[in-house]
Amino acid sequence: MNNAPDSRPEDQLVIAVDGPVAAGKGTLGRRLAAHLGFAYLDTGGLYRAVALRMLRDGQALDDVPAMVAQAQAISLADLDDPALREERVGEAASVISPEPALRAALLLYQRNFAAHPPHGAAGAVLDGRDIGTVVCPGAAVKLFVTASAEARAKRRHAELLGRGEDVSLATVQADLANRDARDMERSTSPLAAAADAHLLDTTKMDIEAAVQAARKIVAACTKD
């Protein structure tokens, strides 16, 4: 794990993309980063990487020292593991993510990424739940991407079916409701839109329309 000295994320051009699961923020964040030539970090992937390492090592999901140790051992390479998208990993990540010690262990990693984007990139796009409120409160642009619960459940269900997972829409709806509740009700860094975030509701948008809308917001916020 990168433990370089911390510095202010706002020294680099940072775009914070927050929102609930299956709102489309991940795809949108990647597309924005590619368009701008910025580095991209899926911060939810960090929690999934910790969860996956714990599952593979047979560690209990309430073992705080274990999760902190796993957090300190991860690298960007861990984020390329296809198993991160498995439903069991996502559920495990949702269980461990409220733990304050884990969030503290990953906070420095995220801020260092924003302040020192890899490969000499001119800026960084980070997506997650608390980027604009906690990780990078000085971000140049803050987006809060959302969609109706019904739309998010249908998108997530289609994604899982596309990966060959046999799961009902009702199960996905219940899972998303539980994750939303954990994200919004946790005491440490709850899911919330920053006061200066731009709301982007993608309920009736396809990904192309959402990306175009996001690009317009970024352009308006960063023009001289």
Give the model's pLDDT for residue 67.
Answer: 96
Give the model's pLDDT for residue 224.
Answer: 62
| Interval 14-69: pLDDT, tens | 999 999 989 999 999 999 999 999 999 999 999 999 999 999 999 999 999 999 99
Quick count: other Cβ atoms within 10 Å of Cβ 141? Answer: 23
Q: Provide the 3-class DSSP secondary structure of residue 68.
A: helix
97: DSSP letter: T
> What is the Cα–Cα distance from 133 to 216, expressed in whole angstroms?
22
CATH (residue range 9-222):
3.40.50.300
> What is the Cα–Cα distance from 158 to 57, expressed in whole angstroms?
30
| Interval 90-132: pLDDT, tens | 889 989 988 999 999 999 899 999 999 998 999 999 999 899 9
Contacts of 14 by beta carbon, 8 Å cutoff, 6+ apart: 114, 123, 124, 125, 126, 136, 138, 139, 140, 141
